[in-house]
Structure 1
Amino acid sequence: MSALTRRRSNLLTIGMLALLIYFLLPLFWLVVASTKTTGDLFSSFGLWFAGNVNLFDNIRDTFAYGDGVYGRWMLNTLFYSLVSAGGAAFLAALGGYGFAKYRFRGNGPLFGVVLASVMVPTTALAIPTYLLFSKIGLVNTPWAIILPSLVSPFGLYLMRIYAQDAIPDTLIEAGRIDGASEMGIFFKIVLRSLAPGIVTVLLFTLVATWNNYFLPLIMLNDPDLYPITVGLAAWSSQSVGGGGSTGELLALVVTGSMLSVLPLIAAFLLLQRYWESGLSAGSVKG
């Protein structure tokens, strides 16, 4: 190995370590801060533990505060995210397969509309969506969160690209020769081959819905329907604006934020093997 190559390798390693620290440092701070009381959050060094580890007391207080409303918010978030992610992944797989393997009038222009809609920020659509849903009586219901999350232009684009190479035309023709219907081919043959791509869209939508704040904020006014993002924001406002016992909410907000990250980490770890199989399949095709 030449000196220039070794120097580039060292610089790349240093750069990767810097990025790793950049992304993990906020998570580390969140874990450390969740072990502290509100007083320790301001009096002790932010990136290290205080003298007394208060993690389990904070977790207990977080679930007990407000008659256990945090647990309700967590269940709401889980419900919104799972239904939205599952529906969005299925619709993206269905649409992506259709765009990739069927030739119909308007295929190109319609897919161009999909690509253009990827550029539209979701926050720009929140107010029009609210006005539309208010007309049909869906505001302040779970459908106000789930239905907009089912539309994933990026997921449709991703599944179209993946289905283009993952599903051979000969496989579809073989199913037709055997007498299978088009929907039968999709459900019995195509879905299995698209599994890695579906999991990718599932995770993207799961994270986006789990972290969604602005849409639930304007759609929901019943605290029992809040997801974790809006609920913790309400607690944070109380901890900043209130006095006395409300000031103790800051430690619960930090602990609640730390707990809300754990399901996403678990989802990535559980579904990681599907990504690995997709990468292996892609390398064989290449």
Structure 2
Amino acid sequence: MSSLALRESASAAGTTPDAAQRPPQRRRIGLLPTVTLLLGAVYCLLPVAWVVIASTKSGSELFSTFTFLPGSGFTENLSDLSAYRDGVYWQWMGNSALYAVAGALLSATVSACAGYALAVYRFRGREAMFNVLLAGVLMPPVILAVPQYLLLAQADLTDSYLSVLLPQILSPYGVYLARVYAAATVPADVVEAGRMDGASEWRIFTRIALPMMVPGLVTVFLFQFVAIWNNFLLPYIMLSDDEKFPITLGLYTLLEQGANTPALYTLVVTGAFLAVFPLVALFLVVQRFWSLDLLSGAVKS
């Protein structure tokens, strides 16, 4: 059959030639990625939905009503959580905010300096240093926790805020990301032009390169903030004073006590629900700065 006859027959049937020739199996296969993504979204959001609904239930409703049936005890749970040990929960939240904000800011600063230096300057041992950093990306945190504890114990810094903050400052992945972003967005011609104009290296970095690297550094800040906020192992090893606990470790102690005092389970669930809000708020505030496009240029022609 000629192409003209095929178009006429397809038009008479109300379809296009491409649609007439496209096998039905290909259209069915196209639904597979969508269905897979939907199942993945349900799998990830189902626990969040459970926490949100369970936080509204009183102690008597938590284990006696349908899982996804809202309760009527959220205000009571919030009041009990705030009153528990004179508001120690909010102290845990403040500790987490201190660790996460200070650690993420310092980590982004160190990553910016190290990434820019590795991307712009040429010096002996640069590639070896970068390979060591890449090895650090692949290193599980659990392997580093005990050596970090022993080092900080020698410096008499355990059970202090610094014991949780200092190990978080250097992020191998943050340095890697900053180097890739600096190499992609800071043109060598711009750096050379700054040097020819008599600007110092520090001025070139702070006034020229750093503004170009802002989207990548925001990404480093976000990743490190979330990692520190959700970190459990390092505070668990370093801290013994519960007034210095972050929210993850504080909720864990509440959960352990819930085995003997079931009424605390509602406090754990409500506390976990409230602990998500800072992360959501952070993403909403800085999402317009968040860019993972490491291939975008800094200078448009």
Q: TM-score, normalised by structure 1?
A: 0.93
Q: Is the contact between residue 251 and residue 271 of structure 2 (CA under 8 Å) also seen in structure 1?
A: yes
> Does residue 237 in structure 1 map to residue 251 in structure 2?
no
2:262 is aligned to 247
Q: Is the contact between residue 184 and residue 295 of structure 2 (CA under 8 Å) also seen in structure 1?
A: no
Q: What amino acid is the match of 1:254? A: V
Q: What amino acid is the match of 1:282? A: S
> Does residue 121 in structure 1 map to residue 131 in structure 2?
no
- Structure 2 counterpart of 1:264, from 255, 279, 291: 279
Residues 1-286 of structure 1 aligned to structure 2 (within 5 Å)? 2=22, 3-50=24-71, 53-240=72-259, 242=260, 246-276=261-291, 279=293, 282=296
Structure 1 residue ranges without an equivalent (≥5): none
**CA pair 247-58 structure 1, distance change in 2 beyond 3 A:** same
179-188 or 4-13: bigger deviation: 4-13
Deviation at 1:60, TM superposition (A): 1.8
Deviation at 1:269, TM superposition (A): 1.3
**What is the CA–CA distance in structure 2 between the aligned matches of 1:204 and 1:264, rounded to whole Å?**
11
9-18 or 211-220: bigger deviation: 9-18
The alignment partner of 1:24 has SS state of helix
Q: What amino acid is the match of 2:237? A: I
2:8 is aligned to none
**What is the CA–CA distance in structure 1 between the aligned matches of 2:25 and 2:47, rounded to whole Å?**
34
Deviation at 1:48, TM superposition (A): 2.6
Q: What amino acid is the match of 1:256? A: G
The alignment partner of 2:296 has SS state of helix
Structure 2 residue ranges without an equivalent (≥5): 1-18
Bigger-Rg structure (1/2): 2
**What is the CA–CA distance in structure 1 between the aligned matches of 2:29 and 2:294, rounded to whole Å?**
28
**CA pair 205-284 structure 1, distance change in 2 beyond 3 A:** closer
Q: What amino acid is the match of 1:109? A: A
Q: What amino acid is the match of 1:230? A: L
The alignment partner of 2:116 has SS state of helix
**What is the CA–CA distance in structure 2 between the aligned matches of 1:279 and 1:271, rounded to whole Å?**
16
Larger helix proportion of the pair: 1
**What is the CA–CA distance in structure 2 between the aligned matches of 1:224 and 1:54, rounded to whole Å?**
27
Deviation at 1:57, TM superposition (A): 1.6
- Number of residue pairs aligned between Structure 1 and Structure 2: 279
Q: Is the contact between residue 216 and residue 294 of structure 2 (CA under 8 Å) also seen in structure 1?
A: no
Q: TM-score, normalised by structure 2?
A: 0.88
C-alpha offsets along residues 243-267 of structure 1, whole Å, 9 cap, x if unaligned? xxx3211000000001001100111
Deviation at 1:5, TM superposition (A): 4.4
Q: Is the contact between residue 97 and residue 229 of structure 2 (CA under 8 Å) also seen in structure 1?
A: yes
Q: What amino acid is the match of 1:27? A: V
**CA pair 115-281 structure 1, distance change in 2 beyond 3 A:** closer
**CA pair 181-86 structure 1, distance change in 2 beyond 3 A:** same
Q: What amino acid is the match of 2:74? A: L
The alignment partner of 1:43 has SS state of coil
**What is the CA–CA distance in structure 2 between the aligned matches of 1:284 and 1:190, rounded to whole Å?**
10
